[in-house]
Structure formats: C-alpha cells, structure tokens
Chains A and B, each alone.
Chain A
C-alpha cells in the first residue's frame, strides 16, 4: 500500500511540472504583452517595468525563476493589480471558492446518492422515471441559465434571497450559488449511483443476502450500498474539475470574490501570473484528490487492495 502511494506521488509531481511548463510557455507565446496598455509608455519606463518583472531576461531564466518561486509557494507579482502578489490574491479568493465548491460538492453528493439509490430501488416505476427526468434537466440546462432564472424569481420577484454578493459567506447568500453549482453534479451523480446500484442489486451476492433472510434494509445498507457507491469514488476528481470550472461562471453571475472570478478577469486583461497561479492551484488540487480517490478506492475494495 505504501509503495502504491509512493508510486502515485512520483507520477503526480512530473504531471504538475508539465502543467506548469505548458502554462508558462503558452502565456509567454502570446502576442502582445501585459503592459501594451492604452497609451504607449516611454521606452525607458517600459524597460524599467520589464526589468522589475524580469521580462528582459532570457525566457529560460524567467522560467527557472518562476519555477523556483512556485516551489516555495510564490507565484510572483500580479501583472495587473500592481500592489498585490498572486499569492496574496489567491489567499483572498481561495477561501471563498473553496467554501463554495466544497458546499456544492457535499450537497451534490448527499442529494445525488439519495436520489440515485431511491431510483434504483424503484427501478422502472414512476419514482424512478421522475428522478431520471429531473436528472436529465440538470444535465441539459447549464448553470448560466438556471442561475439567472432562479435569481429572477427568488431574488427579484419574490425577494426571498439576495440576488448577488458574498456577505462573508452568510447562509442566505450561499443558497443560490451552491444550488446552481450543484445541480448538474446532482444529475450526474444520481445517474451514476442509479446505474451501479441496479447492477449490484442484481448481483449474486445480493441474492444470497436475501436468501439468508436478512431484512431488505440490511441487504441494501450492508451488502449493496458499499459496492454500489464505489464508482463514485473514481468520479470524485472529475467532479471536482467540473465544480471548479462551474464556479467560474457562478462566481461571475453572483458576483462572488473567488478565484474563479479572478481567473476570468485575469484572462480578459492578460494578467498572466494570476491566471497561471489559479491553473496551477486547481491542477494540484485535482491531482491530490485523484490520488486520495485511488487510495480510498483500494481501501474500500478488498480485491483491489490485494491486487496491489
């Protein structure tokens, strides 16, 4: 087991390195620099600025310095927000995004697992069809459609919830963003859980459990549930990727001060260092989660554990 984690870590590090490298050179390949502002700067001022940001050094030196910084958690200064370093900006925005993403993910897991198992236990009955229709809506209608419509009704017409803003993460401000961000994941998770639960409920060992005369609740909770939820563990990392991507839109619509919002404005104003900082952070997050998911999987399934 230890060897397995070690192997996975040794894969994760070069992956992150490749991501940083690709992102770095892509940004530098961009035509037009970050300081091609509205008015032309005098050459000596421009040279000073470039020297301050190391832009006058050869590319490879810039890359080396950047890499060195990243290892120490320093993502360099922001190109656009002159008084801030990227690390500071992320430090401000990340807690907001983390709270939003984590709440959505947990909410989606709770609702998705419940709905999916419920549908599986009532396979091909009206309850199943209802859940699956709702799931289809969740998959086909994107957050940037549901969010404005929900805001219009709950926020504007009925005035039940605030239309936008973070307000230090007050529950009332969280409800709409969390729900709209979670909706597509609820749909995917419930479909996933339904499919795998149906398969498990048809398996020979569930038949054995029933033949043993166990109460139906025990059959489902002890014998079917664990195996039925295993595919979810592998879905954890893709789900995180989807939630972080989705949070970009949600943060913009609800005007939340998270790093997704920074990322889009950074991308629109060519704030290279900020954009790269966010990408590296998210990649690292997802890689770590992938690792956690794999390790968790092998703990949950004794057959995989033996295989390693």
Chain B
C-alpha cells in the first residue's frame, strides 16, 4: 500500500492519477504486455521516481499517458489529469494538455530535437500554438526561459541548430521547451542517462529547483537508484510491467520490503562505500608487486587528423585523442581508467592492444617493445591480451553460433587441436562463465545482453590470456546483471592471476573493482593513485568535481552532499592548448590557425605522496553549487 493511500492528506493536490493502466503491443510474435494494470498518483510540488530496469515498461507507461505510443501499442484503464480523463483521447483533444499543462523530456536530447529547425523556432512555436502570443512576445519568453535554465549566450543559441550544441545544452533546451507554458507536470524519461556525470549533476540540480521554486510536479523515470535518491519524494519500483513496491524515498531506501527492491539496492555500486557490495566484489589480493611490470605505456599518443576547412585540399588539425599517457600494469593487477566522454579512454585501450596506430610513444609488453614487432608478430602475441567490449550483441558476429565465436581464438592459436577437443574446451569455458554448455549451437540474438556479455568474456578468456581490457564492459547492462558480470571477472582474475585494464565512465564501478585508478581528461592523465587514495583524497580539481558529481544511492547522504563545479566552458578538443584548461597561467595567445610547429606547455605529473600522481595545475578551488 502506498503512503499516499494510507494518509490521504487533504493538502495533496493531485495532478496526475492512473488506475489499472495497462499497455499492450501487437507484435508479429504475439501480444506483448508491457504494462500490466498499474495505479499511481502525483501531486503538485512532488517528485515521483519510477525506477526499473530495461524492459520493465516504465517508459511505455508514460508514453501511453502522453498519447505517444507506437502505432502497434494500445492502452487500457484510466488516467486523469486534474480530474479529467486523458487516456486514449484524440490527438486534438490531448493537445489541450500536452506541451502546456503536461510536458515530457526524453533520454537522447540530440535525436529528440528537430535537426533542421533552429532552437529558437522550436521554442517559439510552443508559445504561438498554445498561448497565441505574438512572435515578438514569444521570442522574448523563449529567451527568458533559456536564461532560466542557465544556457550561456542564450540569444546566440536561438539562432543555432541542435547539432551545434553539446549534449548537456541540448537537454537544457529540452527542459526550457517543456517549461515554456508553466506546466503542472513534467515527465522526465531518463533525462540524464546519455549525459556525462558532471552534466548529469547540473541537470538534476535544475530539476530540483523547478520542483521547489515553481511547484511543478515531476515524474522522474530512471534505472539509476542514485539519481532518484537526492530529488524524489516518493518512489515506485517497477518490474515486468507492475509496481512491485511503492513508498516514500526513505522507506524504499532504508526499509525496502520487496526482494526486487532489495536486490536493486544491493547491486547498485556505491562510490562512498565500495565494501557494501560484499567481499565477492572487491579487488582480490593478486597483485605481483615485486616482479617486472607486465605492461608499460610510455608517453602514448594517438592523434586523428580532423578536416577543419580549406578550399580544395583541406586543412587538417590533429585531434589529440590520447596525448602523452604513461602508466604500468603489474601481473594480477586491475587498473581502472575513468573519464567522461571524449577523454580518450577507449582510444587508449585500443592503442595498448595495437588496434589503432600510435602517433607517438611506446607500449612495452612483457619487456618487449611492440613498436619493434611486425604485424604478424603482433597478431601472434594477441594470445596474451584480449578485450571485452561495451555492447555485447554488437561484439558477436550475428551469423556465428556462440560456440564458434568462443572457439575462434582457439582455432587461430591452437590449430593442432581436434574439433572434439575444441568443443570440450569451449563447453568447459561456458560452464566457467555461467552459460549452459548445451547452448553451444545457439546464436547471439537468442540471448539477453548479460548472457551475450558472458559469451564475450568466454571468448576473451578461452586462451587464458595474461591481460584483458574491459572497455565499458558492464556499462550497457542492467545493475543486477552488472554485479554478476563483475563477480565473474573477479573470479576469473583470482583463478588465473589475470591483469585487467578496466575502462569505464562509472566511477562507482571502477572503485569496486580496481587496485589503482587513473583519471583521464582530454587525452591526458590528471590523477593516478591507489583506489582508496584517489577517492578519499582527490587532489586534482577535475577528480574532485567528478567524484562530487556521482549520485549516491542514499537519500540522506545525497541531499547533504556538496557538489563542485568546473570553471567555465569546456575547451574544444581541437584547441592545441586544451590540455591547459586547469592551468590557464601557461596559455599563450595564438594566431588562428595556430602554427603547426606550436607545442603547448605540457603539465607534468607530480608524485604528491608515494604512488599518488597529480597533474600540475593552477591553484583552484571549484565553486560549490
């Protein structure tokens, strides 16, 4: 029973209610019941969190209320907006509510804005349609709203197209658009999932202000327990199309009743308490500290030429994806590599594995410089280092059985094995990664994401490599699956003394699994230290900001947390002096285009305490928000 039903407080002015609402999709494989008769209510000034994993039906529930279901979907039941029935109204009748009294923002702000219309026009049309304002008035209101959601240079943005804005800016535009008519209800469907963690923090702040200052009711749909902790008043937990548990935020977090809620909370990685996940998920004691490093990267650089103009032959500017990164990895050690999108972490991984060509520096594997080896020699070495990818389905050939995919490295490196022996090894490895061996002849599309990721890990592990690189290996998975895959990786590490490069944008996961952590910013290391050192005592302003931005799935801590802010606008990665973002004192004025010979000052890494390296930066205290 929800709190709302238990205590019918007369002060709660209900904005949206739904009773026994269900959504069904008619597909070629039969009817799919996405939402199975749920009831909910939201009151003014309240934020309701809808938490569930992929496929729980959480988005479809609200798309049906907004009348935005795909053409093969049908909704049944009852939904009322301030007492008026709105479910299954004609678009025309629904437009009395949609876009003015009840608005919605979506996950992917780039594809959700019309690409061929200027931002200004997309805002203005809402006002001219719903409030019949004149163009001038509408323009003024739109500009005001852009400023209200803190878009810098708002007047200029009005004349820009969506692709000219960053992801965070686009989501602000979406929010501004949804606020133009002072709505009573804002539905936010995974509004921060596609964004970097620092941008996510800013967007969440914005939503919180909205609720507090304007009294707008907010529905926040998300898979992330951390996101709801700091902002929501009540939470409905959704699984397989029904609410398995509803309650106030504190009830859900501190006194969960349903097993699914408990599981979600337990599986959620905690940046503040990595030990909470239990002894199973912690870096094992496998590091060989005395021996020589297994892998050494020395001043690795990867630059991509980007066309930036020129009449006939084009003028190219190097994009410094990775710009002078050095580190070493011991046997049995896990090095976590974190950073936001565009920081070069995936490129660095591919450079280490020799999957992209280095523009400079060297990679030394078990004492041998890989640059000195020929391509066939490197191919022969691949037996010893393997990779696990982000998107499990994309990383498997759709036309191969999973058995063939797992066997592929074996066939390449042990051609002497009989087919029966290969099969036996594949089955053995399938058991180890938690797949039933009788599935050997099945295809990737018959499996879930988690199962396919197990196949990917089995393929990487079948040759018992000395190192595997996990490139966002758990980022595309639901939290419950994430925990299982992490445990699998740690078990394999214990069993084989494996070394790992664990690349992720998720600081909480990296903290759980890594021995040491390296923070990248625009292709350069800003901080490198043991995991507890870096999380408990971050020295670089970027690391500090990053850590403060990670939402903690604990309402009390999250509400009390102090967030830090980065100074100003982020530099373009094409700017040769982008690396001096935290060291403006060393910037020099450059002509445009900068001379090709120009080499900016390179901030050095300084060892502040043994094993704790921090990049040089100007003294800076990040402002708090």
Contact = CB atoms under 8 A, between A and B. Distances in A.
B106 A6 contact: no
Residue with the highest number of chain A CB atoms closer than 10 Å, among B68, B94, B310? B68
A226 B116 contact: yes
B68 A303 contact: no
Contact of B99 (A10, A203, A211, A216): A211
Contacts, number: 93
B17 interface: no
A264 interface: no
Contacts of A123: 71
Nearest to B130: A213
B117 interface: yes
A208 B110 CA distance: 11
Contacts of B104: 211
B379 interface: no
Contact of B161 (A216, A222, A226, A302): A302
B67 to A, nearest CB: 8
Interface of chain A: mostly helix, strand, loop or mixed? helix
B92 interface: yes
Interface in B54-108: 66-68, 70-71, 91-92, 94-100, 103-104, 106, 108
Contacts of A223: 114, 117
B116 A214 contact: no
Overall SS of chain B's interface: loop
B115 A211 contact: no
B106 A207 contact: yes
A111 interface: no
A214 B129 contact: yes
A202 B70 CA distance: 8
Contacts of B70: 202
Interface in B105-139: 106, 108, 111-117, 125-126, 129-130
Contacts of A306: 161, 163-164
Chain B residues touching A, range: 35 or more
B48 interface: no
Contacts of B115: 205, 227, 301-303
A215 B68 contact: no
A124 B71 CA distance: 10
Contacts of B175: none
Given A205-B114, A213-B100, A3 B310 contact: yes
B7 interface: no
Contact of B111 (A10, A203, A215, A302): A203
Interface residues of A, number: 31
A258 to B, nearest CB: 38
Contacts of A3: 310-312
B393 interface: no
Contacts of A124: 71
Nearest to A210: B68
Given A6-B311, A227-B116, A302-B116, A216 B91 contact: yes
Contacts of A207: 68, 106, 112
B232 interface: no
B89 to A, nearest CB: 12
A7 B95 contact: no
Nearest to A219: B91
> Which has the most chain B C-beta neighbours within 10 Å: A209, A211, A301?
A211
B143 interface: no
B468 interface: no
B311 A212 contact: no
A226 B116 CA distance: 8
A204 interface: yes
A300 interface: yes
Given A7-B311, A213-B94, A222-B117, 14 more contacts: A6-B312, A203-B111, A204-B106, A205-B113, A205-B114, A209-B114, A211-B98, A212-B99, A212-B103, A212-B125, A212-B126, A212-B129, A213-B130, A306-B161
